[in-house]
Amino acid sequence: MAHISPTSPQSLSAHASKGLNGHVRLPGDKSISHRALIFGALAVGETRITGLLEGEDVLATADAMRRLGADVIRHGTGDWSVFGVGVGGLHEPSQPLDFGNSGTGARLVMGLVAGHPITATFVGDESLSRRPMGRVITPLTQMGAVFHAREGGRLPLTLTGARQTLAMRYVSPVASAQVKSAILLAGLNAAGQTSVIEKTPTRDHTERMLRAFGAEISTEIDADGTMSVTLTGQPELHPCPVIVPGDPSSAAFPVVAALITPGSDILVQGVMMNPHRAGLYKTLMEMGGDIEILNQREEGGEPVADLRVRSSALTGIDVPPARAASMIDEYPVLAVAAAFATGETRMLGIHELRVKESDRIAATAAGLRANGIKLRELEDGMIVEGRAGEVDGGGHVVTQMDHRIAMSFLVMGLASAMPVRVDDGRMIATSFPEFVPLMQGLGGHIA
């Protein structure tokens, strides 16, 4: 996999636009794309995938599945086949598994390898190598895997999977779908039942897809909201066609851009509306955003809808901390929306953002200040003072090699008085390679 060159940054600038208009279909959801490749590799036979996101993160997972023994074939744009080797059938890779910038791919595949008696080395780019892996190393070690990692549980690391994977009951100390998924993936090759208990339920893509591929898995929610997911190990997974819906995290950028850019009226087609992923849209509507949910349907086991979005006068709100898990990746672009709102927007309970591709709280706060926005940065969030639609812009934003920071502030520039420049836009390709041409097609000025 090609790495982003550290010596050739590509700055981008967004300029005030007269209005965004038109309709777009988004690239496939990144979370579903990762999982479709992984479960396809564990099924016996051919899994056909349509709408696969072909960003660098997902392509890294596809390459890892090849190295682990699956045949992964691209037929055309978004159209792929995976010929799997079955649960327990992974091969030991002869070369390191390179995940580039993808924390999701790295953590999920650690769970996958941990349940097999093989050894693999995990590597990534500079950004991924700074991110802590301890949250998955701890439970996977309890299941019998052995890790040799840099200080702090960081990449590069070498993992030797369990010879006899131990089923377990794990109470997760963090709200993380990646942790839950890693444990369930390891538990697939364990005799008995593996359970993950979450005080705050997280996105359930892994559970939905496991059921679709034939695993025995159950979910229970207690009166206090605690969720228990229980998987029966050593199933025979069967191929299942996967239609990848549009990524709600990618949809966030054109949606917020349309809300804050006067004269906008767009239709975003085929957006996944899984309740564990749709917190941003609920929040934006509470702020007064004109978002109409149309043509609700189900595709590939996930709820999907089209969103008609018109420019709106937004009002600041207190975002419930309990909603964080359903929109954790969308807080940077929500902060941009908050900058254009009237009044304060309080976003708390989001300490998880400190350990993403960058410290997203700090990076977002710095970007807002660079464009004339006042805020209070807290350890677990921020309070943004809105400018009632009158944002100066004119700032230079340091992205910290984070794709969501780059896209969020380019969205700001489409509606601010002066252009907003980001220092580097190359990493946008990790999740949304079509972002710039898509926004230009709606009338956005990005150069």
CA angle centred on 64, ends 62 and 70, rounded to 5°: 75
Phi, psi torsion values for 165, nearest 5 degrees = -65, 135
- The residue ranges of DSSP E strands in 77-153, in sequence order, are 79-85, 97-98, 119-123, 146-150
Q: Is 329 a catalytic residue?
A: yes
Contact 413/407 with Cβ under 8 angstroms? no
Rounded to whole angstroms, the Cα distance separating 438 from 200 reads 35
CA–centroid distance for 54 within its chain: 14
What are the C-alpha distances in Å from 281 to residues 22, 98, 238, 249, 256?
A: 19, 34, 34, 10, 10
Catalytic-role residue among 63, 125, 306, 329: 329
Rounded to whole angstroms, the Cα distance separating 385 from 74 reads 47
Grouping H, G, I as helix, E, B as strand and the rest as coil, residue 286 is: helix
Closest by alpha carbon to 284, among 322, 314, 245? 314
Q: How many residues does the chain have?
A: 447
Q: Which residues does the annotation mark as catalytic?
A: 329
